Structure 1
Amino acid sequence: MPDNQLGEFLRARRERLRPQDVGMASYGVRRVTGLRREEVAVLARVNPDYYARLEQGRERHPSPQVLDALCRALQLETDARTHLYQLAGTAPSDQFTHTTDHVSPALRQLMDGYPGAPAFVINRTLDILATNALADILYSPFEQADNLARMTFLDPAGRQFYPRWDWTAEATVVNLRQGAGLDPDNPRLRELVRTLTEHSADFTRLWNTHGVRGKTQDAKHLRHPDVGLLTLTYQAFDVRDAPGQQLVIYQAAPGSPSAHALNLLGSIHATWNQTQPYPR
C-alpha cells in the first residue's frame, strides 16, 4: 500500500491545534486530539469530504489555492508550509508568506558586529527597518533614511548621493515591482506607490514599464558630502525567521580609497557620539 505522507502530516498538524488556538468555540466532550477534520475544513473553506480524502490519501494533489488555505488554517510556519507543498508535489506560492517589520534583537546584534561595514535591514517595500552605526552616517545626507524608493525619488539629496541616479532609479523600481508581485495586496506598498506616483514623474514613467528584477551584484556608486565618492559591493541575505526581510551589507575593497572613506565615516560617527547620540 502506498504511503500517505501528505495525509499523515495534515493529521499530525491538525492534532496540535485546539479550538481556542484558532478562535473556535468547543462544546461537549471531544473524542479527538486537537481539531476535528470538519473544523479544519471550515477554517480552510474547503469541502469536509474533500479534506477527509486528503487525510486518508484518496486525494493527493490539492491545488496551490487549497494548500494556501490549509497553511492558514493549520497555522503553519515557513518551514512547515514549504514541507506541505513538497509533499503535495508543487511549489509554494510566495504571495502567502507573511511579512513583519519587526527586526529581532539577535539580528540587530549581528549588524552591530560589523562596525566597518554599513549594514541595514529592508522589507519588500524597501522600507529601512534597522541600521547599524555606519549605515546611519552613510545615509546622513538624507532628510530621513526611511525608504530607499522615497529617498531616491523624493528626497533632494538623492540625485547628489547617487552619481548614477538614472541607473539607481531604474534598479529601485524593478526591485519594488518584484516585491509587488510577491505581496500585491500589501497596503504599505499601495500607499508608497501612490505617494511616489503623485510626486515623481520619473517614478511614474519607470513604474509603468513593469520591469521586474531582484537585487544584482553590481557595485554601488555613492557620493557622501563628507568623504566624496565611494564604490561599494554588497551582499543581501534573506532573513530566515522573518520572510520578506533582507539584511544588506556594504563593503569596500581592502586598501581602496573607498575603504579609507568608510573608515573616515566611522571616525566621524565616533566624533559625533562624543557630543550627542546619533539618531537611529
Structure 2
Amino acid sequence: MASASSSTYRDDRRTELREFLRSRRARVSPADVGMPAGGRRRTPGLRREEVAVLAGVGASWYTWLEQGRDITVSGQVLDAIARVLLLDAAERAHLYRLAGLTPPQAPSAPSVALSPEVRRLLDAWSPRPGYVRDRHWHFTAVNDAARVVFGYRESDHNCLVSFFTNPRYRVRHRDWEETAPEVAAAFRADAARYPDDPEFGRIAGELAAVSPEFAALWARHDVAEHTSAVKAVDHPEAGTMVFDATLLPLPQHPGHHLIMHNPRPGTDTQERLEALMRQHSLVVAHPG
C-alpha cells in the first residue's frame, strides 16, 4: 500500500507534468513546425491533437499524458513529443523525470579546451590539488599542486593508466591495493554509459597488457559508482597528508569532471601542504 507521502509526490509530479506540457505546447506555433495556421485560434500554440499527429501517437493517449494519468510511457514516445514541442536538452530531461523515466545519458563530446572559467577555478583551488578529466579519464588539466602531491609527470595523460603504471603515484598512495578494485570498477561503470564508444575498450585492453593487476581486476567485471573518496598520501618531503576528494561534473563540458582535493579536517594536512607548496614555489623561482 502506497504511503501518503509517495502518493502526494506522484500527484505533484503529475500536476507539474500537466502544466509543463501545456506551457511548452502554448509557445509553439503551427508555423514553427511547418503546419498551416488554420485561421484564428482561441488559445496560443499547438492543439493537443496536432501534437499527437506530429508525434505519431493517439490523440486520446496524448491527452491522458498531458492530464497526468497513470499510463505507460516509453522514451521513444517522449523523444517524439520533445521534438514536436522543440524542447532543449534540459527540458527533454525534465520531461523524462516528470513522466517517471530516467533521462538518457547525454552524448559526450571529445576532449576540448577547457573554458576560461574552469581554468580560473582550477588555478584558484591552489595550493590544493585538482585536475580535470574527460569521459575516458584523460587528463585535460592538472594544477601544480596535483603534480607535486601525487607525483604526476608531464607524461601522465590518463588517470586510470597513471593509477596502475605510475610508480611514484603508487608508492605515495597509502591505500593503493584497497583502492585499486574500486578504480577499475568505476572505469567499467563509466564505460557502460557509452556502449558504442570503443575508446574505453582500447584503453582497458592496452592497460591490461602492461598491468597484470589491472587485468585481473578488469576480468572480475565489477562496477561501482563514486563521487567522493579519501586519499592518504605518504609524500617523501611532506610526510602523510589526507585529502577528501570530490568529483564534480562539468555541464559545460559533457563527460568531463573536476576532481578537487581538500585537506581532511582533524589532520595537519593543510599545514603540510602549504609548506610543501611554498618549498616548491621557491625551487621553481630560484632553481639555482
User: In the alignment, what sits opposite 1:51?
Assistant: 55
Q: What letter matches 1:33 in structure 2?
A: A
The answer to whether the 8 A contact 1:153-1:203 is kept is yes
User: In the alignment, what sits opposite 2:206?
Assistant: 195
CA, structure 1 residues 33+161, in 2 after alignment: closer, same or farther (shift >3 Å)? farther
Structure 1 segments unaligned to the other structure (5+ residues): 16-31, 38-47
Q: Distance in 2 between matches of 1:139 and 1:154?
A: 13
- 1:108: Cα distance to partner? 1.3
TM-score by length of 2: 0.70
Q: Distance in 2 between matches of 1:74 and 1:188?
A: 35
Structure 2 residue 161 is the aligned partner of structure 1 residue 150? yes
Structure 2 residue 73 is the aligned partner of structure 1 residue 98? no
1:226 alignment partner, SS class? coil
The answer to whether the 8 A contact 2:232-2:242 is kept is yes
Deviations 1:197-255, CA, capped at 9 Å, x for gaps? 22222112111212221226442112333323322122222223333222221122457
1:108 alignment partner, SS class? helix
User: In the alignment, what sits opposite 1:42?
Assistant: none
User: In the alignment, what sits opposite 1:163?
Assistant: 174
User: In the alignment, what sits opposite 2:10?
Assistant: none
Q: What letter matches 1:181 in structure 2?
A: A
User: In the alignment, what sits opposite 2:241?
Assistant: 230
Which of 1 and 2 has greater Rg? Answer: 2
User: In the alignment, what sits opposite 1:27?
Assistant: none
Structure 2 residue 271 is the aligned partner of structure 1 residue 271? no
1:221 alignment partner, SS class? strand
Structure with the larger RCO, 1 or 2 (CA within 8 Å, 6+ apart):
1
Q: Distance in 1 between matches of 2:264 and 2:224?
A: 26
User: In the alignment, what sits opposite 1:9?
Assistant: 24
Q: Distance in 1 between matches of 2:18 and 2:269?
A: 59
- 1:8: Cα distance to partner? 6.3
- 1:167: Cα distance to partner? 1.6
Percent identity over the alignment is 25
Q: Distance in 2 between matches of 1:54 and 1:133?
A: 59
Aligned length: 247
